[in-house]
A and B are shown apart, each in its own frame.
Chain A
C-alpha cells in the first residue's frame, strides 16, 4: 500500500469522525445557533469527503457535486440565520 493510499485512508477516517461529531452536535445542542453551525460544518466536511473520493477513484466527476454542496450549504445557513433574525427569509 502506497503512502498516498495510507494518507487517503487517514483523511477519510478523520473526516468521517468529524461528520459523526457534528451529527452528535446537531442532535444534542444547547441552542438553535449550535445546530445551524453544526449543519454548516457538515456541509463543509462533505465537500472534503467528496474530494477525497474523487482522488481515490481518479476521476473528476465529483467536483460538481462538491460545488453543489458548497452552494447549498452556504445558502441554507444564511436562510436559517435570516429566519431566526427576522422571521422571514426574503424580505
Chain B
C-alpha cells in the first residue's frame, strides 16, 4: 500500500470526523430551532459522505475490492436528509406558530401544515376551523 493513498484516505477520515463533530456541536449550541436544523445537515452530507468515500477508497486501493455499498448508502442519505429536514421544519412550524404569525404563501393557497387534517394533531397549538359536534 502506497503512502499517498493512505494519506488520502486518512485526510477524508479526518474531514468526516471534524464535520460530524461540528454538526453535533451546532445541534447543542445554536440558539434557535431553525438554526439548529442547519447544524446536523453538515454532519449528514459532508461528514458521513467523506467517511463512506474513504471506506470505498480504502477497500478499493488496499484490499483490491471495488464495493458499491458505500455509494448506495451515500446516495440514500443524500436523498433522504432534505426530506427529514423539511418534515422536522414543518413539525416545528406546527408546534410554534399560529397561522396568522407567518407570512402568506405566494400563490394564494394556505400553508399545508395548517390545512385540512391539521386539527387531528394530538398536540394542538393551531386555531383550527370549528368542527361540528358529532
Contact = CB atoms under 8 A, between A and B. Distances in A.
Q: Which of B6, B37, B51, B90 has its CB near the most chain A CB atoms (within 10 A)?
A: B51
Interface residues of A, number: 58
A83 B120 CA distance: 10
Interface of B: 3, 6-7, 9-11, 13-14, 16-18, 20-21, 23-25, 27-28, 33, 36-37, 40, 43-44, 47-48, 51-52, 54-55, 58-59, 63, 65, 67, 69-70, 72-73, 76-77, 80-81, 83-84, 87-88, 90-92, 94-96, 113, 117-118, 120-123
Given A2-B6, A31-B33, A37-B36, 14 more contacts: A3-B10, A4-B9, A4-B58, A7-B14, A14-B18, A18-B24, A34-B36, A37-B37, A45-B20, A52-B13, A63-B70, A70-B73, A77-B87, A87-B122
